[in-house]
Structure 1
Amino acid sequence: MRPDPLPESASRPVVTPLSPSVVYASDTPDMLDSQYEGGLSGYTYSREGHPNADVVAARIDRMEGAPNPGVVTGSGMAAVSAVLMGCLSSGDHVLGGNQLYGRSLRLMSEDLPRLGITTSLADPTDVDAFAAAIRPETRLILLEAVSNPTLRVADLKGIAALAKKRGILLAIDNTFTTPAALSPYELGADFVIHSVTKLLAGHSDVMLGYVSAADPAMAERLRVFSVTTGMVGSPFDCWLAERGMLSFDLRFARAQETAAKLADHLAGLPGVQRVIYPTRTDHPDHARAMDLLGGQGCNMLSFEVAPTRAAANALARAAEGIAFAPTLGDVGTTLSHPASSSHRALSEADRAALGMSEGFFRVSVGLEDSDALCETFASAVAAAHGA
């Protein structure tokens, strides 16, 4: 039975309509053939694509200057998986940054080897370390511009030049930095990845990812793999993400401004042992950050208090109104403790080697009043110092 037609209207909606339909009807087998073969544009089955996903993908394509249409996936990790599992083969080797997102590290260390894809890690701030880690079978390099949670800035220009010279594909996860601060395709990236869940959507109510490719053949492999494995995001999440993306530029600018102010404020508080923020002159990669990010620091910062669980618990309890949650990019500021969340699987010694003690916190700065936020963190740090 065909659905009733929509009422005719001389005007049009100012908000993209939500299209939750799982299937789309064609008039004839010839029409369906033409859709699959590219003679007609249209939708067939939502796992193969739907209007709300295409709207979101097209918006991020424009933001990133993507040479080919990107794919919206059900999560950021689905986007990472689409690159690593959809574009690589048994016998290939992947070289990654040694401070990638935890689940990206797990995918590389535990899942890809089961498929015959070998992996290794190197320090992304050291292009010589990457050069030394390349093997004859190295097919792809996976990087994040700014590491999570220590906010080290990768030598993207050096590694991109190295990858091009050696004929190795380069995938850059631009979630932390976003298109507002970094343009991976201009640096020579072959793939750009996003967890749309974070800053792009921005309201902690969406689970989506995005991936695009510079080469048309690789873009088609991403599309086919995502369709085959059912990676497409839901229409409702795409609809919510589009709404969030409409305010992205304003949210990013406000959060970045507040983050820089909070970083300087924290650095002057008794009990704070160090503050990590890319535009501060004491950042270990300050010169590279200023060059790569065009003087922008983004919305993430990290800091360290006394390296004890008692101090960490006291700080989290005293940070009133700040969500203690392992996420980032929300309109509200969130506080994360790597030792008990993202890096809990590592030993204390391994965390220490990466610069993360029990007193190490990551902050995703939101849209609160900056003075009020500084007061809240002053109280929280004082509580930790007292503990």
Structure 2
Amino acid sequence: MRNSKGSLMRPDPLPFSASHPVVTPLSPSVVYASDTPDALDDQYEGRVHGYTYSREGHPNADVVAKRLDAMEGMPGGVVTGSGMAAVSAVLLGLLKTGDHVIGGNQLYGRSMRLMAEDLPRLGIATTLADPGDVAAVDAAIRPETKMILVEAVSNPTLAVADIDGLAQLCKDRDILLVVDNTFTTPRGFRPFDHGADIVIHSITKLLAGHSDVMLGYVVAKDAEINTRLSVYVVTTGMTPSPFDCWLAERGMLSFELRFERAQATAVTLADHLAGLPGVKRVIYPTRKDHPDHERAMALLDGKGCNMVSFELEGGRAAANAFTRGADGLNFAPTLGDVGTTLSHPASSSHRALSAEDRAKLGLSEGFFRISVGLEDPETLCAVFTEAVAAATS
């Protein structure tokens, strides 16, 4: 509709088309117009579905949420602006002053910081315990314990949590079990099938898969918890960008193919590294020398996923020489890209920990985490051979 001077009073409808787009349209609009106050009431009160203000939801976020809901087998998920936003929504949106939460003693560095510094500042007590030892977790439970947060496979030492045991413990004690499924992805592991109450993802990583998106996701099996999480995300402005959601959907279309290729190469690379002089140890869940091998084979159904960790002999000098010698590989604190990336926890994700605390976790200066990408396996192994040789020469 245009006024007499020809200025645009409100947008004309999109041109009619008897066909539909193959690619989901990008919807960057921040605001959505309603016809009347009654119509707006109908939206807010749930009688009709519609959008109002993009902080409260938008089409591209809904598309991504529904795709992940289907992958995890649980409806009602919420997409957030980052993986840490999803973690924060769970911890800050569901816990209150006086509550107690137990975290796995091996978590992503920022999750560890949240547990160690931010929650206590708000009067929420925290304890870290080995998620592979149900008795140790049980011993850490208090009357005020409301939640246990673990990673199915830990970052970066690839320890495998006893999810089945923890789920039974949480059920017996009326405690929420929250599983960060970022490393394993729904292709490698489905936490709800093993008794989890809430599942978290950093979509930024293997799900989107191209290092050009920053998003998170969280879903609970209790619809009332999903509502609480959604309200908290909207209130605190954790809403994702439509463009990032649009890119993430594109990445998710090839996710299963990328997962299988990267996982197969990870198996090859782990075995190759184990045979190189100068490599002190290799950590990969399906290798028989993994400390949690039997649990990994049972819990992950034989899937090791795309992450490999290893330790070089020597300290920081060897680590520097290794990254300089890894020609064509990106040394970057990320994972899940189409290209293989190297991460050094002591200088990135876990740098906030003291050297003593890193040593307790087995994170020496020679420890590296590899996110295996889609390169030719033979070529990738050759690059690592040269890089390890450079580190040990």
Describe the SS at the equivalent of 1:163: helix
Aligned counterparts of 1:188 and 1:147: Cα–Cα separation in 2: 18
Checking the alignment, whether the CA contact within 8 Å between 1:307 and 1:360 is kept in structure 2 is: no
Deviation of residue 385 (structure 1)?
1.0
Matched, 1:217 2:224: yes
CA deviations over 1:262-286 (Å, ceiling 9, x no partner):
0000001111111000000000000
1:35-114 equivalent positions in 2, closer than 5 A: 35-66=43-74, 68-114=75-121
Aligned to 1:135: 142
The partner residue of 2:203 within 191, 196, 213 is 196
Partner-residue secondary structure (3-state), 2:364: coil
Q: Give the letter for the 2:327 counterpart.
A: E
Aligned to 1:269: 276
Deviations 1:146-181 (A, max 9, x none): 111111111111111101111101110000000001
Residues 290-335 of structure 1 show CA distances to partners (whole Å, capped at 9, x for unaligned) of 0000000000001111131111111000000100000000000000
**Aligned pairs for 1:1-387 within 5 A:** 1-66=9-74, 68-386=75-393
**1:74 positional shift:** 0.2
Superposed CA deviations along residues 13-48 of structure 1, whole A, max 9, x for unmatched, are 000000000000000011000000011110000000
- Give the Cα separation in 1 of the matches to 2:256 and 2:280: 32
**Aligned-pair CA distance for 1:349:** 2.1
**Cα deviation 1:71-111 (Å, max 9, x = unaligned):** 00000000011111111111110000001111111111111
CA distance in 1, matches of 2:226, 2:350: 33
1:212 aligned partner, one-letter code: V
Percent of aligned pairs with the same residue? 75
Counterpart secondary structure, 1:2 = coil
Q: Is residue 259–residue 299 contact of structure 1 (8 Å, CA) maintained in 2? A: yes
Structure 1 CA distance, aligned partners of 2:50 and 2:126? 39
- Structure 2 counterpart SS, 1:224: helix
User: Letter of the aligned partner of 1:259 in structure 2?
Assistant: A
Q: 2 CA distance for matches of 1:61 and 1:229?
A: 23
Distance in 2, Cα, partners of 1:385 & 1:109: 36
Cα distance in 2, alignment partners of residues 263 and 349 from structure 1: 27
- Aligned length, in residue pairs: 385
Q: Deviation string for 1:98-137 (max 9, x for gaps)?
A: 0111111111111112222111100111111000000010
Question: Deviation of residue 249 (structure 1)?
Answer: 0.2
Q: Unaligned regions of 5+ residues in structure 1, if any?
A: none
Post-superposition Cα deviations, 1:330-383, rounded to whole Å, max 9, x if no partner, equal 000000111111111222222111111111111000000000000000000001
SS at match of 2:279: coil
**CA RMSD in angstroms, aligned pairs only:** 0.7
Distance 1:90 1:309 in 2: 41
SS at structure 2 position matched to 1:321: coil
Moved over 4 A (4+): none
Q: Which stretch shifts more, 353-362 or 134-143?
A: 353-362
Partner SS, residue 363 of structure 1: strand
TM-score w.r.t. length of structure 2: 0.97
Instruction: Work out the CA distance in 2 between the residues paired with 1:255 and 1:306.
Output: 26
